[in-house]
Amino acid sequence: MNEIQELKNRREQTILEKETLERELAPYAAALEDYEVLQSLESNLRYEITDKKREVGYRERDIDTLDKKIHRRETLANHQNLMAGYIEAITTWKADEEELNQKRNSISTRLEQVRQQAHEDMTKARQAETKAATAYAQAVAWGDVEGEKKANDDAQKAAKHLTSASEHHRRQQLIITALEQEIVTIDQHISEAQKTRADIENQASYLANTVLEEKWNAAAIALLEVGGKLWAARRLIDRDPIALTNLKIPEQGENYGPWGWTDLSDLSYQHSFEDVLAM
């Protein structure tokens, strides 16, 4: 039976023990919720209830610890597939974000073009109307009948053109509003893509941290194994391993106690003379 299955079996057993305790406590639910009711019970019964309640808490703690151990080991066992999935997802979301940015840039460029064209069209139409009105006024001032007639025709044409330009400008404003809204929508999609990618990158970082913790521990254990043999060799030649007494390697992951010189000393006694010579 592998370690993961053993942990799962322990968790199932602990869950059963917790459920049994909870069933035994069920008749005393009122006492568990009301301190005065609890204090009114006989001392032996009161002690039994509080003891069982404490045991339930211990089981809940043990179940949580076992869940974390199982999750860690299953993650480590499948870390290559998990990381490959993370990397693929990150690449996909990056590509989506780049595509969205390209669309945004294209729409932004088009939006500026429409805005500029709308401004120029209205400016030209107003200038034409103003020019025709000025020419008409000058013709009237100089008594130029033909000039007045021509200026009047030009003014009417300019007025019609301004009306047409105004309608066109209205339609352009609708296009501008639609383009602006499309940019807002794309920005939302970009934000969502960035958030999703950041979440996946965070998960990938946690996975990398877990795997590297195990690699660190494995490397530390390998160093301790060599150090134990070195300590044994020093003892064989009557040399005090003073330099090794400064050793302190922090264990990573589930345990946080450091490995030190006492571990080397203990390991050294596990190696025979032949072990030391085999190096």
**Start-end of H helices in the chain:** 3-25, 29-33, 35-39, 43-77, 79-142, 145-236, 261-268, 273-278
User: Which residues contact residue 110 at a Cβ distance below 8 angstroms, ignoring those fewer than 6 apart?
Assistant: 179
| Rounded alpha-carbon distances, angstroms, from residue 124 to 41, 79, 164, 175 | 97, 67, 12, 20
Confidence at residue 172, expressed as pLDDT on a 0 to 100 scale: 79
pLDDT in tens, 80-116: 999 999 999 999 999 999 999 999 999 999 888 888 8
pLDDT in tens, 140-179: 666 666 766 766 666 667 667 667 767 776 777 888 889 9
Pairwise CA distance, residues 150 & 156, whole Å: 10
Q: Which amino acid is at 2?
A: N
Confidence at residue 176, expressed as pLDDT on a 0 to 100 scale: 84
Q: Provide mean pLDDT across the span 17-43.
A: 70
Answer yes or no: is pLDDT of 32 > 60. no
* Total number of residues shown for the chain: 279
Query: What is the value of pTM for the model shown?
Result: 0.75
Neighbours of 271 (CB within 10 A): 20
Answer yes or no: is pLDDT of 67 > 60. yes
pLDDT in tens, 218-240: 999 999 999 999 999 999 998 98
